[in-house]
Amino acid sequence: MDVKEKIKNLINENDVCLFMKGTPDSPQCGFSMAVSNLLKHLNVNFKGINVLDDEDLRQGIKNFSDWPTIPQLYVKNEFVGGCDIVKEMFEKGELKKLLEEKKII
């Protein structure tokens, strides 16, 4: 399976998918930790995908989203943003609203 298919499957099979460095329990980068913690704070059940385990995926997700940095958050197949956008949305209450609208929380 090529990496694009693999990413499509991951975001199809998981309502909330966070491509990150490290895991939700052991993040390896401050930005990944920040987004992971916000999701935990909102009691979101999410799938953390450690791109450090898979170099193809690490590059692949950047190409797939046309976005140069990790973490990247997908909700119901839709790219929500990286750390800055997710943080800003959280502060404005928009992240909670989005997750409620998508029936995640």
Partner 1 sequence: MALPVDEIKKLIKESIPDASIEIKDLMGDNNHYAAIIKSSKFNNLSKIEQHKLVYKSLKGKMGNELHALSITTEGK
Is position 69 an interface residue for partner 1 (rule: CB under 8 A)?
yes
By C-beta, is 84 or 100 nearer to partner 1?
84
- Where is 17: in which H helix or E strand? strand 16-20
Question: How many angstroms from the chain centroid is the CA of residue 50?
Answer: 10
Shortest distance, position 97 Cβ to partner 1, whole Å:
14
Shortest distance, position 29 Cβ to partner 1, whole Å:
9
Query: How many CB atoms lie under 10 A from the CB of residue 93?
Result: 9
* CA distance linking residue 64 with residue 56, whole number of Å: 12
Name the site residues for partner 1 (rule: CB under 8 A).
31, 62, 66-70, 79, 81-85, 88-89
